[in-house]
Amino acid sequence: MTLLMLSYPERVEVFRRAFARDLPEVPFASDPAQIDPREVRYLITWNYPDNLAERYPNLDVIFSVGAGVDQMIQAQIPPRVKLVRMIESGLTSLVRDYVVMSVLALHRRLPAYIEQQRRREWVNLEFTWADQRRVSVLGLGELGQASLEALKHFGFRLAGWSRNPKEIEGIRSYHGREGLMAMLAETNILICLLPLTPETRHILNADLFAQLPQGASLVQAGRGGHLDQEALLEALNTGHLEAAFIDVTDPEPLPADHPLWSHPKVVLTPHVAGHTRAESSAEATIANLRCILAGEAPNGLVDRQRGY
């Protein structure tokens, strides 16, 4: 029963020390060449080796080092192997902070002021009070709920949408297709934190943007595949959308001549909204492995039918 971790050396060493301290009974390895592949029961990784089933025939569980699971779903992984996505405090806090930063910047019209600065214009723009602005989140998982909780302190009217009904104190919750349309109609700043599945691919498209009120803005911190980039550019260029913070694109990085690089209404960041912290990731993985060894379900167990 061996645990194999495939990652860069600095992260591996953090995990190695944590496992030696907290779960020494589970052999920990990071060099596939030095172990019997038939002994590998647990794998920690982001990218997957070719011929995974043949290479590690007794594999039971794969732990992702990141929150995204679309690369796990697409890989050739035997159905019997459990997939566990990363849920840990470091990632959650970073995404929460990015969302708060973006929402406040859009609320106070920072992209427009940056463009005025470039043109050397000193003009006071109209503003909206926080309690007059509806901020809505697509995706009410760990990241969405943490972001909404942080935004409560600023006085926005808050809403969230999920696939299934959820009740969250202080948040107006919507679900399903009709719920999505109802929420969008009242949303001034829309935040995408959805998992990427066949159902959510290109969910940020022309039809969705058309449902938003004139002058709404977007925070895209989900996955690159959520966004129809041409539809976003059209909505920005026509003035239907006022501005956007974009952290994830498809492809990454964008081609050098892509309009998003230089669009005056776009703040583009290089997929930095969230990053797992090695120490807390190791602790989360150890806690999950203990659950599995005890016959319990780990936190973040992926339902392959749903895609997350």
Would you say residue 30 lies in a domain? yes
- The answer to whether residues 49 and 197 belong to one domain is no
Co-location of 202 and 261 in the same domain? yes
Residues 106 and 130 in one domain: yes
**Domains of the chain: total:** 2
39 domain-assigned: yes
Does 7 share its domain with 65? yes
Q: Are residues 96 and 39 in the same domain?
A: no
**Percent of the chain having pLDDT more than 90?**
90
Q: Could you list the beta-strand ranges (E) of 126-274.
A: 134-138, 157-162, 172-175, 189-192, 216-220, 241-246, 266-268
Q: Which residues are registered as beta bridge partners of 241? A: 216
Look over the chain and give the mean of its residue pLDDT values, rounded to a whole number. 95
Residue 190 lies in a domain: yes
Residue 178 lies in a domain: yes
Has residue 298 been placed in a domain?
no
Which residues are catalytically annotated? 223, 271
- Shared domain for 159 and 286, answered yes or no, is no
Once rounded to an integer, what is the mean pLDDT over residues 224-234?
Answer: 98
**Between 53 and 300, the higher pLDDT residue:** 300
- H-type alpha helices, the chain: 9-22, 52-55, 70-74, 89-107, 110-118, 142-151, 176-185, 206-211, 229-237, 278-293
* End-to-end C-alpha distance for the chain, whole angstroms: 27
Spatial separation of the C-alpha atoms in residues 87 and 285, rounded to whole Å:
9
The reply to whether 287 and 252 lie within a common domain is no
Banded pLDDT at 73 (limits 50, 70, 90): low
Instruction: Indicate if 133 and 227 belong to the same structural domain.
Output: yes
Task: For residue 168, give Cα distances in angstroms to 97, 147, 160, 162, 163.
Answer: 20, 12, 9, 12, 14
User: Which sign does the torsion angle of CA 244, 247, 249, 255 carry?
Assistant: positive
285 in the same domain as 246 = no
- Which of the four pLDDT bands, split at 50, 70 and 90, describes residue 67? confident
pLDDT of residue 70 exceeding 80, the answer is no
CATH (domain of 230) = 3.40.50.720
Q: With bands split at pLDDT 50, 70 and 90, how would you rate the model's confidence at 72?
A: low
Q: Are residues 117 and 80 in the same domain?
A: no
In the prediction, which pLDDT does 47 show? Answer: 81
Percentage of the chain beyond pLDDT 70 is: 98
Could you tell me the residue range of the domain that residue 33 belongs to?
Answer: 2-88+276-293
Residues 149-184 have pLDDT tens digits of 999 999 999 999 999 999 999 999 999 999 999 999
User: Is 225 contained in some domain?
Assistant: yes
Instruction: Assess whether 106 and 239 both reside in one domain.
Output: yes
| Pair (107, 234) in one structural domain | yes
Decide: 171 and 139 in contact? Cβ < 8 Å. no
